[in-house]
Structure 1
Amino acid sequence: MRQPVTLTTDGPLAVITLTAPPLNLFDQALIDSLSQAVHQVAAEHPRGLLINAEGRAVSGGVDVHLFDGLTPDQGGKLWDDLLALIHTVEDFPFPTVFAAHALCLTAAFELSLACDLLLAAEKAKFGLVEIVVGLTPSMGGPQRLAERAGPARARELVYTGELYPAATLEQWNVVNRVLPDEGFAEAAHAFALKIANGPTLAHAATKRLVREQLNGGARAADAIVAETSGPLFGSEDLKGAVRSFLDEGPGKATYTGR
């Protein structure tokens, strides 16, 4: 039986793919398989992660059968477990990219917001539609939308439960780049692989500085620059890149992640 989530690698890049088409619904089997893949990535320490999906949709959202009959305590436990998964992805010390080729609802959209960068095909649409079952998005969606687009846009998107095209969310700074539908999967993979081949330790430092700014402001990030960026001068990547720049000019360096 095919797993609803697969994990493959392409050199330094790990690729998690939702493989339960056509809708990749987040039922318990998919959630368990996704959790296993995420924890395997954490154990294997790649230099980048791409999350994508097969089928006519990235995901139709959560299988509503999962909510039927839950008590408040059980509901709280479900969200705690799913948020732990979100936090694991968000805290990876390497770049993470989510590629949305089509409709991306609820849990999948929230997972995309835990990634560093969100790429979308022109035809992709996004929605947090939990109001149809009387819920608010509870895998971190509202708060991460607020980080990217501001609180008013986050409230609008959640309150209305409407579907928003990729171009609109690019204008709102939720989507990083909108790419052509034709060849989207290949372009997104190439984009993620290029980043994964970059200076991994420097990328980790960037992630830490941006997170510190979000938590405490620019001065809080300034306060950890020395401890975060100073050690990069001891890395093989920086030493090699500096020598490459001086000997051959910019853009010729290659990186190993060390």
Structure 2
Amino acid sequence: MTLPSSLTGDNAVLRLTFDGPLAVLTLHSPPLNLFDEAMWTAWRDAVAWLAAHPPRALLVRAQGRVVSAGVDVRVFAELDPKDAESFWRSRLGITQALEALPCPTVFAAHSLTLTAAFELALACDLVVATPQARFGLVERKVAFTPAMGGTQRLAERAGGARTRELVMTGDLYRGSVLADWGVINALFPPESFDTDAHSYAMRLATGPTRAHRATKEVVRRCLDGGVPAADAALPALAAAVTDTGDHRRAVTAFLTDGPEHTTDYQGH
């Protein structure tokens, strides 16, 4: 499985590596990890490759002092309004493709995370951060609105009132505050953040991936269509999980060794 050239090598602005069952996608475009054409191209390549070759879990992280200062403002200066709809539709497609990956996804934010990067974080299943990390959808500074799906995904997590506050003020919010809002799932101290975030994601990668996929689908059905839509889909999803090797091995191990058993999940 050859990786796209945009995701490997010393000049790659986004790097895809693996630690056993865990895929790790690292923003690496110092000093600010800005979203420009090269970064977006790499993201398109990454989510397309991961959709075709799903890992057991994905960790998204960043190298450097900041996670990302967001979209390179030169993008707005150079964009022809006649091309704007198709331009932003394609960028929203990256968010949607990341959200649709069939494995658990974790976004790890150790510091400043703005605009496009924050929007992609909100497309992940789980977000972890340091208490001091700062987040913002600050498009108001260029009289714009978040266009990669961050507003609606923030509203799913924090509600409409908090979302309007964050987007309309353009203020920055600490990880500790967003954890209180339900946007951040876990907070880790700065001194051990990389290790803690990696362990958090690895726990998912070594778990029952097919069951996690079903959980993602049930939650999505509920968010899109309410409890009745989730109920309608659940029996078939549960039946598919019942037919996996992970489920059968885990049941056997539970009956043999008790609830504290260790199961070798293989994703089948």
- The alignment's TM-score, normalised by the length of structure 1, stands at 0.98
Give 2:27's match in structure 1, choosing from 4, 14, 18: 18
Give 2:97's match in structure 1, choosing from 75, 88, 94: 88
- Root-mean-square deviation over aligned CA pairs: 1.0
Query: 2 CA distance for matches of 1:212 and 1:109?
Result: 23
Query: 2 CA distance for matches of 1:17 and 1:155?
Result: 30
SS in structure 2 at match of 1:68: helix
Query: 2 CA distance for matches of 1:20 and 1:13?
Result: 22
Give 1:180's match in structure 2, choosing from 179, 183, 189: 189
Give the drift of 1:97: 0.3
Q: What is the count of residue pairs matched by the alignment?
A: 258
For 1:187-217, what per-residue CA distance to the aligned partner results, in whole angstroms no more than 9, with x for missing partners? 1011101101111110010000000000111
Residue 200 of structure 1 pairs with residue 203 of structure 2: no
SS in structure 1 at match of 2:145: coil
Counterpart AA for 1:50: L
Query: Residue 7 of structure 2 aligns with which residue?
Result: none
Alignment of 1:70-89 (within 5 A): 70-89=79-98
Query: Residue 254 of structure 1 aligns with which residue?
Result: 264
Query: Residue 106 of structure 1 aligns with which residue?
Result: 115
Query: 2 CA distance for matches of 1:115 and 1:87?
Result: 10
Counterpart AA for 1:253: T
For 1:20-54, what per-residue CA distance to the aligned partner results, in whole angstroms no more than 9, with x for missing partners? 12210001111112221222212221111110001
| Contact residue 155 and residue 163 of structure 2 kept, 8 A | yes
Query: 2 CA distance for matches of 1:166 and 1:229?
Result: 35
Counterpart AA for 1:93: P
| Contact residue 132 and residue 176 of structure 2 kept, 8 A | no
Give the drift of 1:254: 2.1
Alignment of 1:160-239 (within 5 A): 160-239=169-248
**24-33 vs 64-73, which moves further:** 64-73
**215-224 vs 142-151, which moves further:** 215-224
SS in structure 2 at match of 1:57: coil
| Contact residue 51 and residue 102 of structure 2 kept, 8 A | no
SS in structure 2 at match of 1:59: coil
- The percentage of aligned residue pairs carrying the same residue is 50
Residue 35 of structure 1 pairs with residue 48 of structure 2: no
Query: 2 CA distance for matches of 1:204 and 1:73?
Result: 39
- The alignment's TM-score, normalised by the length of structure 2, stands at 0.94
| Contact residue 50 and residue 101 of structure 2 kept, 8 A | no
Alignment of 1:117-132 (within 5 A): 117-132=126-141
